[in-house]
Amino acid sequence: MMHNVSQDPAIRWSDTGHEIERVHGESGPRTMGDLEVQLVGDGVWRVRDKRLPEHDASCVLGVIEKTRSGYEATRVGRSLECSVTASFSDAAGSFV
C-alpha cells in the first residue's frame, strides 16, 4: 500500500523520537495516518513517515517482518528497537 503526499519544499522536518518537529519549532504527534507501509519483500514491509520527502533517509522509521511468532517491528533511529506483536496492525502502531 502506497500513499502519495505532496510536500512543501519550504518546510524541513527532523525526526525527534515519537514526534515530528518543524525546523520553525512547531511539533505534532505522529499518527497512523502519517505512516506509509510498503511491501518490499516476502513478508517484509518498510514503514516511513509520509510527511517527510521520500528521498530523505530520515523518513524511514523501520521495518515489519512476518515471523513464526507474529510480526516483528524494528524501529530505526538513535538505536534499534525491536518488538514482537500478534497482529500486523499492532506492529504498525508501534511506530506511532
- 80-94 pLDDT tens trace: 889 999 999 999 999
Please give the model's pTM, rounded to 2 decimal places: 0.68
The rounded Cα 14 to chain-centroid distance in angstroms is 13
At residue 76, φ and ψ (nearest 5 deg) are -110, 155
Of the candidates 35, 37, 14, 36, the one whose C-alpha atom is nearest the C-alpha of residue 25 is 14
Spans of all domains in the chain: 31-93
Residues of the chain with pLDDT under 50: 1-27
